[in-house]
Structure 1
Amino acid sequence: MVKRTSLEGDACPIARSLDAIGDWWSLLIIRDAFLGVRRFSAFQRSLGMAKNILAARLRALVDRGILTTEPASDGSSYRDYVLTPKGRGLFPILIALRQWSEEFDEHPDQIATALVDRVNRRPVRKLLLTAEDGRTLAPEETALAPR
């Protein structure tokens, strides 16, 4: 496997985030964790990944504080992988990616699920970027400013 360049010290927060998240396999692992997957074997079944690749990705996500391990909830000797607060903070990113795909995918009819509110079973509203005063912002209405 080719060693990737670390973006950890990059001044751009997008690059730093990508360094922490890793790659698309990592995002799919995080997606599955949000869906309740906790065991190595369940991740492997869901994703169809080779054991060595999955083990490396899980280890990296634990090392980066996105997942943690804890004793299995059933009392067995297995370990469960659980999202940390840092990992749960990725939820809006996954939803933004999902909604982008729902809007621009070439075959939206092939998307098998819809994201709904558990309480009323209605579709979740599209994420929007808003100003402090509540206005919806378009890309051209934002700018980068020094801290």
Structure 2
Amino acid sequence: MQWLDTDPENCPIAHTLDLVGEKWSLLIVRDAANGVRRFDDFRRHVGLSDAVLADRLRKLVGHGVLETRPYRDAGSRARLEYLLTPKGWDLWPVLLALKHFGETHAGDPRGLMMEVRHRDCGAPVRLVAECAAGHGALTSRDAVATPGPAARPLTERSGAGRAG
């Protein structure tokens, strides 16, 4: 079966985009990965209205990307802070890939806006796709995508499915 003969309905890329594929959700995940926890801080840093931010946070919590934890500042009512779950942290390489793409193709000519470095040695972190058999780092020219065991044949009924 060739790629164009597969039904994209169960594509993991499409499912991921259903969860976090719009700009604001990924920017919230970016900020959460960088230590932002509180509603007011997300609103101030990401620049969203209360209604849009509340909706995105609710969806990210509902999908298990973020979890809430109560906190209470002295003299204030109890509130929630938002933390990445293990599922949310699994998006960290995606953020690195988007950061790399942005720096390469839409970066600020003055240099990097954010550096990501190894906590122990201080060296820059880079994202690498590598062969599981130990053949080292790969480029897109070194890899090929083929339908896997969950691939289903495209039928007339499913021909209008999503792209993945």
Shorter chain as normaliser: what TM range? 0.7 to 0.9
Structure-2 separation of matches of 1:138 and 1:43:
35
Q: Equivalent pairs: percent with the same residue?
A: 40
Q: 1:82 to 1:99 in 2, by over 3 A?
A: same
Deviates further, 85-94 or 101-110:
101-110
2:156 corresponding residue in structure 1: none
Q: Cα deviations across residues 17-76 of structure 1 (Å, max 9, x unaligned)? A: 100114110000000001111110110111111100000000010111101111127686
1:138 aligns with 2:139: yes
For residues 130 and 84 of structure 1, do their structure 2 counterparts lie closer, same or farther at Cα, with a shift above 3 Å needed? Answer: same
Q: Which residue of 1 aligns with 2:34?
A: 35
The structure-2 alpha-carbon separation of the partners of 1:138 and 1:113, relative to structure 1 and needing over 3 Å to count, comes to closer
- Structure 2 counterpart of 1:81, one-letter code: Y
RMSD: 2.0
Task: Please identify runs of 4+ aligned residues in structure 1 that moved more than 6 A.
Answer: none
Match of 1:71 in 2: 70
Aligned to 2:11: 12
- After the TM superposition, which residues 39-54 of structure 1 pair with which residues of structure 2 at under 5 Å, given as runs? 39-54=38-53
Question: Structure 2: how far apart are the matches of 1:108 and 1:144?
Answer: 38
Q: Secondary structure at the match of 2:10?
A: coil
Tell me which residue corresponds to 2:88.
Answer: 87
Give the C-alpha shift of residue 131 in structure 1: 1.3
1:97: Cα distance to partner?
0.7
Contact 1:26/1:61 (8 A) holds in 2 = yes
Contact residue 61 and residue 67 of structure 2 kept, 8 A = yes
Which secondary structure state, in structure 2, belongs to the residue aligned with residue 79 of structure 1?
strand
Partner of residue 21, structure 1 = 20
Alpha carbons 2:72, 2:78 under 8 Å: kept: no
Q: Which runs of 5+ in 2 are unaligned?
A: 1-7, 150-164
Displacement of 1:110: 4.8
Whole-Å separation in 1 of the counterparts to 2:107 and 2:78: 45
Tell me, which stretches of 5 or more residues in structure 1 are unaligned?
1-8
Q: What amino acid is the match of 1:114?
A: E
Distance in 2 between residues matched to 1:113 and 1:63, nearest whole Å:
29
Which deviates the most, 82-91 or 99-108?
A: 99-108
Letter in 2 for 1:92: P
- Between the two proteins, the alignment pairs up a number of residues equal to 138
TM-score normalised by structure 2 residue count: 0.76
**For residues 17 and 107 of structure 1, do their structure 2 counterparts lie closer, same or farther at Cα, with a shift above 3 Å needed?**
same
